Structure 1
Amino acid sequence: MAELNGSQILVECLKEQGVDTIFGYPGGAVLNLYDELYRHQDEIKHILTSHEQGAAHAADGYARATGKVGVCLATSGPGATNLVTGIANAYMDSVPMVAITGNVGTNLLGKDSFQEVDIAGVTMPITKHNFIVKDVKKLAKTIRRAFKIAASGRPGPVLVDITKDVTANKCEYKKEDVKKADKAKKEKSFTEKELDKAAEMIAKAKRPVIFLGGGAIISEAHKEIKALVDLMDAPVCDSLMGKGAFDGTDKRYMGMIGMHGTKTANFSVTECDLLVVLGARFSDRVTGNTKSFAKRAKILHIDIDPAEINKNVKVDLSIEGDVKDVLKELNKKLTKQSHDEWMEHIAEMQAKYPLRYHENELTGPYFIEELYRLTKGDAIISTEVGQHQMWAAQFYKYSKPRTLLTSGGLGTMGYGLGASIGAQIGLPNKQVINLAGDGCFRMNMNELATAAHYNVPIIEVVFNNNVLGMVRQWQTLFYGKRYSQTLLSQDIDYVKLAESMNIKAFRVTKKEEVDEVIKKALKAKGPVFIEVVIDKNESVWPMVPAGATLEETFSEEDVKEKEAKAKK
């Protein structure tokens, strides 16, 4: 045993956990920690972001892309509160993350001291668990617990707040073999009886549909899902968070379900007699009106979190457990099904209701389709939130898990750029591309400076329509075209902004320019910025109005037909 101070203990514990990268921003309450990180910079890389929110998003992107626990670090007060949106984002999307904050000395707590904030209290509703460490003897145990909680079960963020005196105080430290400590046998949370019931439901189904959520990605269940799909002979849809859990190029794949899902996916869920739901939480953006959701079907729900069972939608059978573990056992009980008539009906709908866009002009969907073609689908795509996010879900095909990084639950504008930096640093041999709208880009565009400083070879694509596109689309459809505060400045030259940071930058204004610019960007060695100028009236189709049923999915053609009838 060695006697170490709190900062040394923290760094040793991070090394125990296999942490190789931290995203953060220094300040007074964490100076001792940063001094120790300086001594270990050959073992743990620290990425200085432009803002603490960027650090949290980068840790999130790193975690989603690699499957490891992401780590971010900030000082007390505003440093800690600047992490809050990133922590909430990770919580909503079940991302394993440990956020470490400093705080004032123990003797200054509760006295409104300079840069003092009760960050444990602030983040209690948006963390799996959080700690405040006021005794150096408890630090090592707390850090180990934080990582275990963040990664186990349904993953999520854990906050560890450490007072400044703890980072300087000393105690005995004993190294722990984390892998050995975690080898405790995992007990099954599901029963043979439940599996038998599930197999019986599947055997009786004539029109089954499989619906994949984010839990299917987290559990690394893509091989078991492919086996299930083949056994069931069923079509597949997914949520935004479930993309890549099943091959998006497979003929059984119908696309995304929900507000901007495909008509085929939405109508199939309305018509099916069995809906098998894997690792999804029945978000309102997925279900529409829950009273009418899958009303003709029995629902089988497999999820690791018992709190999600029957929370939003009542189901006929639930199995609590890791999706991968459950499917390994369930697939053994299934016999191969054949649903030719149902699959033919699905194929007819796919032919009747393809995703469409205006082909005679430069649009977001066209650019994304070309991006998919030129990357051969072999890229990690991160997004901000809005129209471009939905186009990324619709027009880029995801054949592998952990290849779409996006803010699903919280809907955080400004998420993607930081996430792309984290993903690229976590997987340096992958091509990482962030898709943004101009409104989202303005939220956290300061992180371009981070990409430039570390020469992170991301490609930042900004679809510039000079409006808050998704909000404007709602104003067009539901608010009588009263465009309140959705027009953005047209006087900003984003290309010059990128070039001011010595980032290679391009502006695309015509379809004919797209291929050449993408090819140049893919060949570049450092960060690249691409501005794609599109029309402000470009919208996302199809769409389900908020609170409506999936049966009410409508397309642009449906809107024009309705308007034409109204004029008559």
Structure 2
Amino acid sequence: MTKKMTGGQAAVEALRAEGTSHVFGLIGSATMEMFDALYDAEDINFIGVHDERTGTHMADGFARMSGEAGVILAGQNGPGVTNLVTGLAQARAAYSPVVAIGGALASGHRYRDAFQEVDQDALFRPVTKKTWTATGADRVPEMFREAFREAMAPRRGPVMLNLPRDVLAAEAEYEPLQTRDQYRPYVAPGAAPQAVAQAADMLSKARQPVIIAGGGIKNTDGAGPCLSLAEALNCPVVTSPGHGDALPFDHPLNAGQMGPRGNIVASRLVKEADVILALGTRVGFNATFYSYDNINRDAQIIHVELEPTAIGRYFPAALGVLADAPTAATQIREAVERINDRAVADAWTEGFKSERAAYLAKRDAEAQVDAMPIHPSGLFKTLRDVMPRDAAVTMDAGTLCLQATDALNYYHPRSLFTPLDFGLVGFSFAAGLGVKLAAPDRPVISLMGDGGFGMTVSELSTAVDYGINTVTVVMNNRCWGAEKAYQRDFFGERYIGANISSPPFDKLAELYGAKGYKATTLDEMAQAIEDALDCGKPAVIDTDVDPAALYSFRRDSFKHRGG
């Protein structure tokens, strides 16, 4: 039986067929038919945001935590949709499946310099997997199916679907809509048997093997297969930057995050390994800076990836394996045979375990817990001590959050959410709101600098209005820390634009109807975290952090200055 609906009603029915539970958005006149249909959709929670950019970060966080597509609706063409650009560029860098829906001009008004006209297709092509415009009301369900299929297909990423006013207003007869299980069933592809046998042989013969676990392990809940293989080989595992939660922190073979922004133990393993199994990672910029300073030039790399163009792209692969990472790990585990002559490899792993234990003990012992104002090392130790084991943590870019990435402990997959390669300031708080909606029973703690929180503070209204109770820790050093560090280290302390001022964020939170805390000591911070998690409201902790505790992470960028 067919059903007569407007394009706007069909759009909402298409979301329902996808099992969509939340839509983030900002109302606009271009999509009124769709908003009116959402009014009747009691099974879809609409979260009204204050800025389309931060709404996109919420959809991004929701997608990464849930494993499903996050949906953002920019109700207005022109300025409403242009605000999505930064958020979608961020989602693309993180391979996050965000479905962006934008209002668009009436079809008859295009190319006439109409009010709020911009070429939305051209604008979004560089920052999405696919961008297109619906051509008629009768094709709305088809194009929504294409949007979700494209966003969720490996490698995942954001898409942009523009909906002209006349398309949403027009009526059409529709066949019953297909559900997602009917039109995009998916079975993870395994590795070819020959590749499995070769990988197993290389790993069994390795004297100093290491596994790199990336997003292809984290985002598929693949810790079990990865660690089962590691245990069979008695082989250490490092995680790629931003994916320190891919494996439980306390597993004895977990070395933590590698690379220039990781820890010295994990980084050494990759620099000295003779065989590297890269599982679901590009071995890209954040992991290596594309430099053999951060990976052994002589290592044989077994590169397992779902994206064929990623295999061997930055470093030559001795063996490229086109497969789902945890599936391939299981296959290799079944093929691996422990041989008697493993003394060298076992000694390599035992040495790593001792070094890792010493590193963690030193990290705690050397944390500056009495410094005033608070030193980042002391703050991170306090967070390690008081954060619940199941906490999800979101972070911005910037010097303090980069220092924090490998300084906290993650015990569950999908516990760490960062901007990854896009390096975005202003991501964390909004993303945390999306993470919390995807996992309401888990505590969510968002770390930000004062600059980044100032960019996005208006979403406190969203948090309060919809009861999204996250805890945001504002590490307040009154500056743009990363850039100030570069000015200090490479430009003779010629500071310009580096220092900023902000209102008391704890008091500002109270004005929004949230709960605010001020912490000037680590004891106050520990108590504030516990109170904030129990307060039943969105909470903001404003803490003073030493403005001199800055670190230049991208020293490679300023080698020309002799620093």
Conserved? CA contact 2:278–2:301, under 8 Å: yes
Tell me which amino acid in the other structure corresponds to 2:524. E
Query: For the residues of structure 2 that align with 1:432 and 1:512, how far apart are their CA atoms?
Result: 21
Give 2:326's aligned residue. 324
Query: In the TM superposition, what is the alpha-carbon distance from 1:240 to its structure 2 partner?
Result: 2.5
Q: Which residue identity does 2:324 align to in structure 1? A: D
Q: Tell me the residue number matched to 1:375.
A: 387
SS for the counterpart of 1:450 is helix
- CA–CA distance in structure 2, aligned partners of residues 286 and 322 of structure 1: 20
Q: Which residue of 2 aligns with 1:253?
A: 254
1:98 aligns with 2:99: yes
> Does the 8 Å contact 1:363/1:538 carry over to 2?
yes
Name the structure 1 match of 2:347: 341
- The counterpart of 1:521, out of the listed 532, 545, 548, is 532
- Which stretch shows the higher mean deviation, 340-349 or 42-51? 340-349
Alignment match, 2:274: 273
Q: Give 1:554's aligned residue.
A: none
Structure 1 window deviating more from structure 2 (60-69 vs 323-332): it is 323-332
What do the CA deviations read for 1:38-80 (whole angstroms, capped 9, x no partner)? 122x111111111001110000011111111100000210110
What is the distance in 1 between the residues matched to 2:234 and 2:27?
A: 54
Check if 1:534 corresponds to 2:545: yes
Query: Per-residue deviation at 1:519?
Result: 1.5
Query: 1: distance between equivalents of 2:213 and 2:236?
Result: 11
Q: Percent identity?
A: 29
Distance 1:485 1:259 in 2: 27
CA 1:255–1:131 in structure 2 vs 1: closer, same or farther (change >3 Å)? Answer: same
CA distance in 1: counterparts of 2:238 and 2:541, whole angstroms: 31
The question of whether the paired residues in 2 share the 8 Å contact of 1:288 and 1:544 is answered with: no
Counterpart for residue 44 of structure 2: 44
Counterpart of 2:474 in structure 1 is 462
Shift of 1:185: 6.7
Tell me the secondary structure at the aligned position of residue 389 of structure 2. coil
Deviation per CA, 1:112-166: give whole Å up to 9, x if none: 2111222221111111112210211211111011111111211111111111101
Separation in structure 2 between the aligned mates of residue 125 and residue 189 of structure 1, nearest angstrom: 31
Give how far 1:368 is off.
3.2
Of residues 499, 503, 512, the one that matches 2:523 is 512
The one-letter code matched in structure 1 to 2:510 is E
CA distance in 1, matches of 2:125, 2:527: 49
Between the aligned partners of 1:414 and 1:191, the Cα distance in structure 2 is 43
Alpha-carbon distance between aligned partners in 2 of 1:47 and 1:345, rounded to the nearest angstrom: 51
Task: Give the secondary structure class of the aligned counterpart of 2:20.
Answer: coil
1:270 touches 1:296 (CA, 8 Å); kept in 2? no
Cα deviation, residue 86, structure 1? 0.7
* Contact 2:388-2:443 within 8 A present in 1 as well: no
Q: CA deviation at 1:289?
A: 4.7
* 2:510 is the alignment partner of 1:499: yes
Partner secondary structure for residue 211 of structure 2: strand
1:306 to 305, 308, 314: 308
Does the 8 A contact of 2:518 with 2:541 survive in 1?
yes
Residues 282 and 291 of structure 1: is their aligned pair in 2 closer, same or farther, counting only changes over 3 Å?
same
Q: Residue in 2 aligned with 1:472?
A: 484
Q: CA deviation at 1:336?
A: 3.6
Deviation at 1:184, TM superposition (A): 5.1
TM superposition shift of 1:189: 6.4
Query: What letter matches 1:110 in structure 2?
Result: Y
TM-score (norm 1): 0.92
Aligned residue type for 2:196: L
Determine the structure 2 residue equivalent to 1:556: none
Tell me by how many angstroms 1:402 deviates.
1.1
Q: Once structures 1 and 2 are overlaid, which stretch shifts more, 477-486 or 57-66?
A: 477-486
Counterpart-to-counterpart distance in 1, 2:251 and 2:185: 38
Ranges in structure 2 where 5+ consecutive residues have no aligned partner = none
Normalising by the residue count of structure 2, what TM-score does the alignment of the two structures yield?
Answer: 0.93
- Measured against aligned partners, the alpha-carbon deviations of 1:468-505 in whole angstroms (never above 9, x if no partner) come to 1222223333333333321112x622222112112111
**1:135-534, aligned counterparts within 5 Å?**
135-182=136-183, 186=187, 188=189, 190-292=191-293, 293-336=295-338, 338=342, 339-350=345-356, 353=359, 354-355=362-363, 356-361=366-371, 362-489=374-501, 492-534=503-545
Specify the alignment match of 2:26 in structure 1.
25
Q: Which moved more, 1:49-58 or 1:465-474?
A: 465-474
Letter in 1 for 2:57: H
Instruction: Kindly state the Cα deviation for residue 391 of structure 1 after the two structures are TM-superposed.
Output: 3.5
The residue type equivalent to 1:359 in the other structure is V
CA contact 1:275–1:300 (8 Å) conserved in 2: yes
Pair 478,204 (structure 1): closer, same or farther in 2 beyond 3 Å: farther
Any stretches of 5+ residues in structure 1 without a counterpart? 550-562, 564-568
What number of residue pairs does the alignment pair up?
547
CA contact (8 A) 1:290 1:313 kept: no
The offset of 1:394, in angstroms, is 1.9
Cα displacement (A) at 1:365 = 3.4
Q: How far off is 1:441 after superposition?
A: 0.9
* 1:264 positional shift: 1.2
Which moved further from structure 2: 301-310 or 470-479?
A: 470-479
CA distance in 1 between partners of 2:181 and 2:466 (Å): 35
Rounded Cα–Cα distance in structure 2 between residues aligned with 1:179 and 1:450: 30
Whole-angstrom distance in 2 between the partners of 1:392 and 1:268 = 21
Aligned partner of residue 546 in structure 1, secondary structure:
helix
AA partner of residue 348 (structure 2): W
What letter is aligned with 2:259? Answer: G
The answer to whether the 8 Å contact 1:13/1:144 transfers is yes
Q: What is the Cα-based RMSD across aligned positions, in Å?
A: 2.1
Q: What are the Cα deviations for residues 20-42 of structure 1, in whole angstroms up to 9, with x where unaligned?
A: 110000112111111111122x1
Whole-angstrom distance in 2 between the partners of 1:185 and 1:406: 27
- Report if aligned partners of 2:73, 2:100 keep a CA contact under 8 Å in 1: yes
Q: Secondary structure at the match of 1:335?
A: coil
Amino acid at match of 1:464: N
One-letter code of the match for 2:506?
V
The offset of 1:320, in angstroms, is: 1.0
What residue number does 1:65 align with?
A: 65
